[in-house]
Amino acid sequence: MRGFVGPVDLADRLEKSKAMDRPIRGLARFVRQRLRQGAVRDLLHGVPTGKPLHPPLATVTLGCWLSAAVLDLARADPRATRLLLATGIGNALPTAAAGLTDWSSLHREQQRVGFVHMAANVAALGLMSASLVARLRGAERAGRVLSYAGLGLGTLGGYLGGHMAYRQAAGANHAPQVAHLVPLGWHDLCPLKDLPDGRPVARRLGYIQLFVLRQGDAVTVLADRCPHLAGPLHQGRLVMEDGEACVVCPWHSSTFRLADGSVKHGPATAPAPMFETRVRRDGTIQVRPGLT
């Protein structure tokens, strides 16, 4: 039995701690209610770029603050240090907005770690802001102490952010890797007559569960696991968005175009893998991996 409790163990314990669940529920609900589905929310999720927006923004902020600490240690030009601090502080605002938007649509275990991640970064932002004010007033020594403390908290926040990304897979693409799981070529799926008309169902193809929607003689097939957090798309709602037929994930409302599996609305940023379909003369539906 190990006696040493490392940072990974502490982060794992945060996942299981229910002590913060009440404020987490309230804050997540508040964010979702105030930031409705639409262009701004999609931008903060990173839908236009196909990648989450929060991680690269966070790298800029922490990088500026780390660089400022290096300049402090080197006793470099204080104007450069102040500029780096101010840049990090200014960039922290869109970073927080993007992170809070993503956080509001995560599983509870991820939100628990994210809540402490957020608290550490807010405290770091406060210390860095106080450091900048102190420096502008000529208190360079106090400014250095405050920025070192802020960098420590920012590093803690960064560690927890890494735990969310790499241990809990928040922000990762959860859609199945079709190219590695489905051989090339056409594969028999099921008879067309066995599918209900106008209602999506789940069907299996080897290792993969598929979203299958029959509309008359036309059949749409996507990978069933939502790329956001692996929700079952076949249990989602069918909607029309700007004249485009879409499916809405039942877990966090990611919306995908049925025509090609691309993302219409986040929080997902990666498309749902698409399958080409055809119907043989005997009525058997065949599928093969598409280009998405």
Q: SS3 letters for 187-230?
A: EEEEEHHHCCECCCEEEEECCEEEEEEEECCEEEEEECECCCCC
What average pLDDT does the chain have?
Answer: 94
Phi, psi for residue 255 in degrees, rounded to 5:
-120, 130
User: Which residues contact residue 250 at a Cβ distance below 8 angstroms, ignoring those fewer than 6 apart?
Assistant: 231, 232, 235, 236, 237
- Region 175-204: mean pLDDT is 92
236 C-beta neighbours (distance < 10 Å), count: 22
pLDDT reported for residue 291: 62
State the amino acid at position 227 in one-letter form. P
7 or 82: which carries more pLDDT confidence?
82
Calpha distance 253→132 (Å, rounded):
41
- Region 60-84: mean pLDDT is 96
In which band, very low, low, confident or very high, does the pLDDT at 181 lie, cut at 50, 70 and 90? Answer: confident
Percent of the chain with pLDDT over 70: 98
In which band, very low, low, confident or very high, does the pLDDT at 221 lie, cut at 50, 70 and 90? Answer: very high
pLDDT reported for residue 85: 97
**What residues are paired with 222 via a beta bridge?**
211, 274
In which band, very low, low, confident or very high, does the pLDDT at 76 lie, cut at 50, 70 and 90? Answer: very high
In which band, very low, low, confident or very high, does the pLDDT at 178 lie, cut at 50, 70 and 90? Answer: confident
User: How does pLDDT run across 269-284, given as a tens digit for each residue?
Assistant: 999 999 999 999 999 9
Calpha distance 219→192 (Å, rounded):
8
Alpha carbon 105 to its chain centroid, in Å, reads 8
To the nearest 10°, the Cα dihedral for 55, 258, 107, 46? 20
Calpha distance 14→10 (Å, rounded):
6
User: How does pLDDT run across 240-267, given as a tens digit for each residue?
Assistant: 999 999 999 999 999 999 999 999 999 9
Calpha distance 104→98 (Å, rounded):
10
Q: Measure the CA angle with vertex 37, ends 34 and 39; round to 5°.
A: 105
Q: Going by DSSP bridges, is the β-strand pair 263-265/274-279 parallel, antiparallel, or unpaired? A: unpaired
182, pLDDT greater than 60: yes
- Hunting for tokens 């079709």 — which residue is that? 178
53, pLDDT greater than 60: yes
The answer to whether the predicted template modeling score (pTM) of the entire model surpasses 0.85 is yes
- Region 158-185: mean pLDDT is 91
User: How does pLDDT run across 97-135, given as a tens digit for each residue?
Assistant: 999 999 999 999 999 999 999 999 999 999 999 999 999
Helix (H) or strand (E) holding 276: strand 274-279
162, pLDDT greater than 90: yes
Burial 94-105 (b: 16+ CB within 10 A, else e): bbbbbbbbbbbb
pLDDT reported for residue 2: 56
Calpha distance 193→87 (Å, rounded):
61
- Region 185-197: mean pLDDT is 94
Helix (H) or strand (E) holding 284: strand 284-289
- Whether 273 and 261 have beta carbons less than 8 Å apart is answered as yes
Calpha distance 241→264 (Å, rounded):
8
68, pLDDT greater than 70: yes
pLDDT reported for residue 1: 47
5 or 274: which carries more pLDDT confidence?
274
Q: SS3 letters for 88-154?
A: HHHHHHHHHHHHHHHHCCCCHHHHHHHHHHHHHHHHHHHHHHHHHHHHHCCCHHHHHHHHHHHHHHH
